[in-house]
Amino acid sequence: MPNVLEYSKIFQPSLDKQVVQESTTGWMEANDNLIKYNGGNEVKLPNILMDGLADYDRTNGFVGGDVTLEWKTYSLTQDRGRTFSIDAMDVDETNFVTTAGTVMGEFQRVQVVPEIDAYRYSKLATLAIDAEQTRSIAITSSNILDEILADLNNMEDEIGAKDVVITMNPIMAGMLGKAGKDFISKAMLAKGALSVEVQSFNGNPIVKAPSKLLKTAFEFLDGTTAGQEAGGFKVASNALDINWLIATKDAPIAVSKTDKVRTFTPETNQKADAWKVDYRKYHDLWVPASKLKSIYANTKPVA
């Protein structure tokens, strides 16, 4: 019988890859190459400090400058998990990997990926609002073109011309497509190892996300408190609807890690004649202080 610890080597890479490819926020993980991750709930991000330009002296040459590379530790605040039981009568050793992989893949698709997206959108919107990079506008088919151009122009005036990603729900994207058809084309957007074709506005990719995920605040249920046994997440009572989010491609730094997938055979499982799989997911999103002007949130006014 193969060592059950080897199953983790099969599960973890494929589960992390699935999150990037199926998540509507998967493009935000392009910047995770800046991250040092050694397992657990901490990552390190680099902070580079350097002196500015000085006058060149034709006699003495260059003025010396200092470069300092500091690694700052951040905590992955979203520490989530579940344990699964697959009855021994339903699966044997020969097809356990296939069955468990199917079950966990479906769990990620239905439960984990939407929760990660919801968290990232709400945090990105909150950071933009806190940085006063926001407006609250009632969007209609007659004003959508002017309003999104206003937000894009405001960002460009602040940070210069940059490639950005626009996130909105499909209904809003359809409205924009009709109102601004002269600005609409196709673009490619990288999500991990994949590049997907998406609609673009003025050359900027549009990511379509469900309205239920585009909120400024969510409650993430603990799975044990009365009324929260089902786990998952729900919209917070103080949440605002997001019309759209705009972010330069290098602003959000997102990371999600499937950590310590543990597998127990029916022989070692003390509670049931079943395979037991423990699943744990760490994830979070940050925007460096220097990039806060590179995100923007347009929200629906409170009724």
Q: Rounded CA gap, 268 and 253, in Å?
A: 40
State how far the alpha carbon of 72 is from the alpha carbons of 43, 253, 286, in Å: 8, 14, 12
Average pLDDT, the chain: 88
**pLDDT value at residue 137:** 97
Q: Which residue has the higher pLDDT, 20 or 226?
A: 226
pLDDT digits (tens, 9 = 90+) for 23-40: 999 999 887 777 787 777
In DSSP terms, 295 is beta-bridged to 247
Q: Rounded CA gap, 247 and 165, in Å?
A: 6
Q: Rounded CA gap, 62 and 262, in Å?
A: 57
pLDDT digits (tens, 9 = 90+) for 250-303: 999 998 887 667 777 778 888 888 878 888 888 999 998 889 999 999 999 997
Share of the chain above pLDDT 70, in %: 93
Q: Which residue has the higher pLDDT, 82 or 124?
A: 124
Share of the chain above pLDDT 90, in %: 55
Which residues fall within 8 angstroms of residue 116, CB to CB, at 6 or more apart?
Answer: 19, 23, 25, 78, 256, 281, 283
Q: Rounded CA gap, 225 and 17, in Å?
A: 32
Label residue 201 by pLDDT band (50, 70, 90).
very high
**pLDDT value at residue 272:** 86
Q: Is the pLDDT of residue 3 over 50?
A: no
pLDDT digits (tens, 9 = 90+) for 146-188: 999 999 999 999 999 888 999 999 999 999 999 999 999 998 8
Residue of 197, 222, 216, 217 whose CA lies nearest to 207: 197
